[in-house]
Amino acid sequence: MKVHPLTKTQPYKALLRYIHLQLYFVVWEHYRHSWIGDLQLEIHKGDAGIIGNVYYGLYECYESLFLLHYLRAEDYFLDVGANLGHYSLLAAGITQCRTITIEPVPATFERLQDQIRINHLEDRIDSRQVGVGEQEGSLFFSTDRDVMNRVVDANYTDAVAVPVIALDQLDAQLPIRLLKMDVEGFEYQALQGASSWLNNPVLQVIILELNASGSAFGISDQKLVSLLESYGFYPYQYEPFSRKLKRLTGHNKTQFNTIFIRDLEPVMQRIASAKPVRVFKQSI
């Protein structure tokens, strides 16, 4: 078990939760986890990524707590590459904001729909089974990489064709405050189809996964950073326990995602005035 900021003072508890879940899966295939607030997670044996919430409370805690401190009920949140809905569930279930969720892989999308139904969030989450790219069309996505399914070519053995939209096809009147994108290296192409949103001053924050996966498509992390900076979004690291933001010179190399902010002052005002979030017995 790795050291995690939410369990570092009592790491044995995370270990006990891990052991308990592994023993549970010896007999059963599914596990219903009471998460944060009233949220529930349906965990399947073999799940990756989202299962970390069982052990640590919030697996991607820095980005998750930023989202919870920043969003408000009157906002819209756009979750591109939602997977099983970690961020969408937090946004719609805890902050109560309206959420648009995009997940291309059919089997994953079906699981995402289950998570939404379990939490009775159908009225707050608009979920769409499509991919995103520079323009409307279709692409092939892998189906055998779990949380790392990605765009592949037509010759890939385990792949499915999925309809693709450009994000600019979404209703430009929606007041989307925060865009989170995790599309396994296809971020540059997806953002090329989102110029209207990138120019919209209502959009203040983009959370982006940058881990060199774009190299599979000939795109470096720095090229993505430069693209976002050309629209006025600059990289920051969030410290949720003090609610401070630190400007970075490139993408965040110590965490899963990088937070890009266009207008720092109103973002800082929001996170400073946000209600505390309870994770386990901690109020953050």
The model's pLDDT over 120-129, given as tens digits with 9 standing for 90+, comes to: 999 999 999 9
Q: Tell me if 134 is assigned to some domain.
A: yes
Query: Residues 188-210: what's their mean pLDDT?
Result: 95
The model's pLDDT over 63-114, given as tens digits with 9 standing for 90+, comes to: 999 999 999 999 999 999 999 999 999 999 999 999 999 999 999 999 999 9
The model's pLDDT over 75-87, given as tens digits with 9 standing for 90+, comes to: 999 999 999 999 9
pTM of the model: 0.96
Q: How far apart are the first and last CA of the chain?
A: 23
Q: Tell me if 147 is assigned to some domain.
A: yes
Q: Tell me if 92 is assigned to some domain.
A: yes
Boundaries of domain holding 137? 60-283
Q: Tell me if 17 is assigned to some domain.
A: no
Q: Tell me if 34 is assigned to some domain.
A: no
Buried b (16+ CB within 10 A) or exposed e, 63-77: bbbbbbbbbeeebbb
| CATH value at residue 141 | 3.40.50.150
Q: Tell me if 234 is assigned to some domain.
A: yes
Number of domains within the chain = 1
Q: Tell me if 118 is assigned to some domain.
A: yes
pLDDT at 257: 94
